[in-house]
């Protein structure tokens, strides 16, 4: 699942480009009174955060930090979609949010395959 999320964010940054994403969402959010600077900053920050922390999560580095940042990112994106269209379909967001919350609540001892664990074993 995280590889899928990471790949979709890679295409958002490098193939589709952030400018096209802005062209899609900016008119809808400006109609609701959201300032342009907030829209532009939000799209850039969420795109970069999803890419960077998704990569870190796949690699198993800073997993707890990555999970928290990605959870906040999903919640902020959900709020933005809720502002644009109050009755929007959550079929793509809900599974990601549930899995993020599960990973945050799961004991750290279950995390057997990560670079965090490997580094902590080497240093101890």
For residue 52, the enclosing domain spans 2-123
Measure the CA–CA gap between 32 and 21, rounded to whole angstroms: 17
Does the pTM surpass 0.85? The reply is no
Number of domains observed in the structure of the chain: 1
Asked whether the predicted pLDDT for residue 103 surpasses 80, the reply is yes
Is 47:18 a contact under the CB 8 Å cutoff? yes
With 0-12 CB in 10 A as exposed, 13-18 as middle and 19+ as buried, what is 58?
A: middle
Q: For a pLDDT cut of 90, what percent of the chain falls above it?
A: 27
How many of the other CB atoms lie within 10 Å of CB of 105?
Answer: 8
Measure the CA–CA gap between 9 and 96, rounded to whole angstroms: 14
Condensed to tens digits (0 to 9), the pLDDT of residues 14-73 reads 656 778 888 888 998 999 999 999 999 998 898 889 889 988 988 889 999 999 999 999
């Amino acid at each position: 699942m995280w590889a899928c999320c990471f790949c979709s964010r890679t295409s958002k940054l490098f193939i589709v480009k952030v400018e096209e994403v802005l062209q899609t969402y900016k008119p809808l959010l400006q109609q609701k009174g959201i300032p342009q600077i907030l829209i532009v900053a939000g799209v850039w920050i969420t795109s970069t955060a999803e890419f960077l922390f998704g990569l870190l999560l796949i690699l198993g580095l800073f997993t707890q930090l990555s999970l928290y940042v990605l959870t906040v990112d999903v919640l902020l994106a959900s709020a933005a979609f809720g502002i644009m269209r109050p009755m929007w379909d959550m079929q793509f967001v809900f599974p990601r949010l549930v899995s993020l919350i599960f990973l945050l609540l799961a004991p750290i001892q279950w995390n057997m395959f990560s670079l965090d664990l490997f580094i902590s074993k080497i240093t101890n």
